[in-house]
Chain A
Amino acid sequence: MPDLIIDGRAVSVPKGTMVIEAAERLGIMIPRFCWHKALGAAGACRMCAVMFTAGPVKGLEMSCMTPAADGMVVETFHPEAVAFRRSIIELLMVNHPHDCPVCDEGGHCLLQDETISGGHSLRRFPGRKRTYLDQNLGPFIQHEMNRCIHCYRCARFYQEYCGYRDFGPMQNANRVYFGRFDDGALENPFAGNLADLCPTGTLTDKPARFVSRRWDCLRAPSVCLHCSLGCNVTALSRYRRVARIEARENAAVNGSFICDRGRFSAGYEAIPERPRSARLDGNAVPAIEAETALAARLAALAEKHGPGSIAILGGLRSTMETQAAGIALAQAAGWRAPAFFATRTEQAATQAALAVLTPPRARSLAEIGKADAVLVLGVSPLFDAPMLALALRQASRAGAKIIVADPRPVALPLPFTHLPVPPRQFPAVLAVATGSPDAAAAAAQKRLPFAPELWPGLETAAKALAAAKRPALVFTPGLAAALPDDDRLGLFPVLAQASSAGAALLAPTDAPGLDELAADVAAGRVKGLVVVEADLFAAAPGLAAVLGKLDLLVVLDYLPTPTVAAAHIVLPTTTIFESGGILAASDGRLQAASPVQSPGDPVARDGAGSHPPRAFDRPLPGTDPAPAAFLLDRLARGLGLTLPREPLAALAAAIPALAGLDLAALPQDGLRPAFAGLAAPLPAPLPLSAESGLAVIYTDALFATDEPGRYAPLAQAQTQAGPPVLLLHADDAAALGLADGLADGLAVSLECGNRLVPATLHLSRAMARGVIVVPRVPDLAGLPPILGPCGLRRR
């Protein structure tokens, strides 16, 4: 633990800490451009020079390149250091253009800050300015190379941290250029971070270009809703529209970065189609009228068929407050226990996946990045949970072996072993890789023989996990029962949606699955359905098909889903940007999001694209949406019931893992409850399915397959038009007679329910046999788990 003195204050830091970081611990911000907490030092900008007056190092040195050592005395404001930094900023500014007014970085520009704080105001250099031609780097990043000061942050992040090669430095000396060899979209799904990282306006956020200055934005800490990891973000809102999303530092979850899905999938809160007023039988009515009618109809329904004929259905993209209010209302009114998951099995699996996260075994995302061997089971990191790929990349950079067992073709920016096995073989893979008793492996092999080409990979996995000091397992909920009981192996589940963990934590054990509800509705046992922030057409096509049998369908939602269109009564709710709330990440970590804007029509829409109307005496349009928890509470009052004042707190007090946590004051990094482990062993979750037919595997894309993201204009724009693309192993295709000629890109039809959906079939050899990979789009929701022999046919 070196002890040193910086600006007269003593600090003790771990060995290997650089002086710049030690100063940061004291709250002293040494000017810097190239150094970044996540990227380390490059020594490229020379901006962080400080004076070492005594100790092992003497004189003017770069604080980012000098490890802290015992006895160092550092002066950051030594006149010599100040003069040095001033001349460095002047040199950096020699070629910097005179374009701050039209630069989007202006207002939160590190170069601007350092130029002004360095006192440089007049260019003394009489020569000409160096210029570069810019490139089109795709839809997310704007390139303006003249502004570059060559700190190499972008290249280090892009190539070293993320492992992508299509963007980087070129040329030499005074002509160094950061870009691609040719124009084109950046391949890196984390490229949006370049806008945050770049200390100048060279790389800026293209969708937010010219939208606003930073100082005009309302800012609030928020949590990403677009996968289950719960990355921390900062939402910036202007004129009642989320102007941009930025990464928010959380050392335990996402570090300093977020993926492009999380960054560019906002915007659903401002679309014109968003339900903004209550609707009663298709007509827009004042909220109070809809609420009164709703209470009356529900009361009549309960009177006629009994309270058990009403069911409430919670979504997996709601805050825990909303989920808890739904549960509390169902319990108070005696309705069917709220349904969240597709099946009871899925619910039990998700609950088990959280329960196994006992303190010695639970790993955070950051800890996955520090593991030395990681087995990923049933997750395609880049698409199911993009930031997981970045964590794996960090582990891999440090020498970890990464093994991914997934039926889909998997791409990762790191060396890894892919085991293309169908889901039914995951337990066997787990058993083999974790060196469980040979008998189990042998039995598994007997019943479900692995393809011979998989054995080398399995052997690598087994060896790597056996040799590792900090092995980790990333798994999907279904595997919770099969996990070996070994505290050495860290666990990190990846769940289906952002609030899956919250629903699993809160849902009562007797909660029905959506499939049960569908059966009840079809049989006429359920007459009224209250849907809270869920799209039945995507989550439960079986239920959506029988909606016509309902006497009353009530939908509370903020997205214009088909379910909203089918509802008898619609109550508009607020998004997380307008109400905030608590979300549970996939590892059970509870994190709070704050509201950033008021609900209401975005100013641009209110003003019909131009400026808003001049009248100041009218109420804000489109402010009917209210937090769903609030609406449910009002509904309870309308029914003459009293919900607890804080349904979430009341519910949490009865849940062992959450009891005693102060949900009103969650720490900045979030709070991971201490789970107690599985109460009782689960039955084997995945039945061994018949060999005939293709197992349907749904897969996410980077954009617009998550529910809010599907309604985000920018994310939607990233999806390709045309029929959905199916993936099939070439051997299976040959067996089905689909591998002839132009098999790649073959036009096929997929039988989905009673419809035939046109699709394009692509073939691959980097995937499991016996499966068909289907994109998670509403059109294709509701495929049977096993596609029959006639399910896929040539078009």
Chain B
Amino acid sequence: MADKKQGVVGAFLDGAAGLAGSYAATMTHLFRKPVTEQYPEYKRPLPARTRGRIVLTRSPDGKERCVACYLCSGACPVNCISMQSEVGPDGRRQAAWFRINFARCIYCGLCEEACPTLALQLTPEFAFCKDDIADFVYEKEQLLVEHGGKHPDYDFYAHAGVAAGGPKGSHIGEDDPVDVKSILP
């Protein structure tokens, strides 16, 4: 078009064709089936790794996986995780309290990446509304679930080698403890 000098009629026809084209395009759309998914009636199945509400999972033996190592709170860019660790009744390190302020959470998933025991996991649940913003502060009891989430088989204490997870030498890939009072080779 640019190389050819158009006359008035040419320009008029060109413009009219353009107008007609866009009217036609919208008209054809009118008879298509809408692509909208009707949300509350139809919930799209989300991938397992969608980053939604955070849960604390359990190891295969049903015990809490979280050892309150503070890595998630250290990784959190918005400081929405806080906790206090303690020695649990079984000698394991655990969270005395653990809270996530979902009103502040940005669902970036860095906490999940940081979690060394695979305890903290993000779930596809994204729609949880509250009337009061203070209700978004979830405590450990609300965060704990009864399953292993995306990694049902992993047990940190089976690898860790600390006595809280079983006697020394009983963990995966460990030798029997050294007898320091024996001189036998």
Q: List A residues at the B interface (Cβ < 8 Å).
A: 97-102, 106-107, 128-134, 144, 146, 170-171, 175, 177, 179, 209-213, 215-216, 239, 604, 607, 610-611, 614-616
Contacts and interface: CB of A to CB of B under 8 A. Distances in A.
Given A210-B87, A610-B96, A610-B97, A177 B134 contact: no
B105 interface: no
Contacts of B27: none
Contacts of A130: 175, 178
B123 interface: no
24 contacts: A97-B160, A100-B69, A100-B116, A101-B156, A102-B67, A102-B69, A107-B74, A128-B174, A129-B173, A130-B178, A131-B174, A131-B178, A132-B177, A133-B177, A133-B178, A146-B161, A146-B168, A170-B180, A175-B180, A177-B178, A213-B69, A610-B97, A611-B97, A616-B134
A215 B74 CA distance: 8
Interface in B121-165: 134, 137, 139, 156, 159-164
Interface of B: 67-71, 73-74, 82, 84-87, 92-93, 96-97, 99, 116-117, 134, 137, 139, 156, 159-164, 168-169, 173-178, 180-181
Contacts of B67: 101-102
A128 B177 CA distance: 11
Nearest to A102: B93
A129 B178 CA distance: 11
B69 A101 contact: yes
Given A131-B174, A131-B177, A611-B99, A99 B160 contact: yes
A99 B161 contact: yes
Nearest to A134: B163
A145 to B, nearest CB: 9
A106 B69 contact: yes
Contact of B164 (A102, A146, A171): A102
B77 to A, nearest CB: 14
A175 B179 CA distance: 8
B25 to A, nearest CB: 54
Given A106-B69, A611-B139, A129 B161 contact: yes
A210 B161 contact: no
Q: For A100, A129, A215, A610, which residue has the most chain B Cβ atoms within 10 angstroms?
A: A129
Nearest to B185: A173
Contacts of B87: 209-210
Contacts of A615: 134
Nearest to B73: A216
Contacts of B180: 132-133, 170-171, 175, 177, 179
A532 B84 CA distance: 36
Contacts of A239: 84
Contacts of A100: 69, 116
A430 B161 CA distance: 59
> Which 9 residue pairs across A and B have the least CB separation, nearest first?
A97-B161, A611-B97, A101-B69, A99-B160, A213-B70, A177-B180, A101-B116, A210-B85, A102-B93
Contacts of B137: 614
A378 B166 CA distance: 53
Contacts of A107: 70, 74
A556 B42 CA distance: 68
B74 A133 contact: no
Contacts of B69: 100-102, 106, 213
Given A101-B69, A177-B178, A216-B70, A131 B117 contact: no
Given A101-B156, A102-B67, A131 B93 contact: no
Given A99-B161, A101-B69, A171-B178, 16 more contacts: A97-B160, A98-B160, A99-B162, A100-B69, A102-B160, A129-B161, A129-B173, A132-B177, A134-B163, A146-B168, A170-B181, A177-B180, A216-B74, A604-B84, A611-B96, A611-B139
A492 to B, nearest CB: 42
A216 B79 CA distance: 11
Contact of A210 (B82, B93, B99, B175): B93
Contacts of A607: 97
A97 B96 contact: no
A212 B83 CA distance: 9
Is the contact region of chain B dominated by helix, strand, or loop, or is it mixed? Answer: mixed
B84 to A, nearest CB: 7
Given A132-B178, A146-B168, A179-B180, A210 B68 contact: yes
A568 to B, nearest CB: 39
A212 B178 CA distance: 31
A98 B159 CA distance: 6
A212 B160 contact: no
B134 A144 contact: no
Contacts of B117: 101
A97 B162 CA distance: 8
A161 B97 CA distance: 41
Nearest to B157: A102
Nearest to B161: A97
Nearest to B163: A134
Contacts of B163: 134
B84 A611 contact: yes
Contacts of B134: 614-616
Contacts of B97: 607, 610-611
Given A97-B160, A101-B117, A611-B99, A210 B86 contact: yes
Contacts of B139: 611
Contacts of B85: 210-212
Given A101-B71, A102-B93, A212-B70, A132 B168 contact: yes
Nearest to A144: B162
Contacts of A99: 160-162
A215 B70 CA distance: 9
A97 B158 CA distance: 11
A131 B169 contact: yes
B139 to A, nearest CB: 7
A100 B164 CA distance: 14
Contacts of A131: 161, 168-169, 174-178
Contacts of B68: 210
Contacts of B160: 97-99, 101-102
Given A129-B175, A131-B177, A213 B74 contact: yes
A128 B161 contact: no
A401 to B, nearest CB: 38
Nearest to B119: A101
A173 to B, nearest CB: 9
Nearest to A98: B159
A177 B74 CA distance: 34
A144 B84 CA distance: 22
Contacts of B156: 101
Contact of B174 (A102, A129, A216): A129
B101 to A, nearest CB: 9
A547 B159 CA distance: 64
Contacts of B116: 100-101
A212 B174 CA distance: 29
A751 to B, nearest CB: 47
Contacts of A179: 180
Contacts of B181: 170
A151 to B, nearest CB: 18
Nearest to A603: B84
A606 to B, nearest CB: 12
Contacts of A604: 84
A101 B95 CA distance: 12
Contacts of B74: 107, 213, 215-216
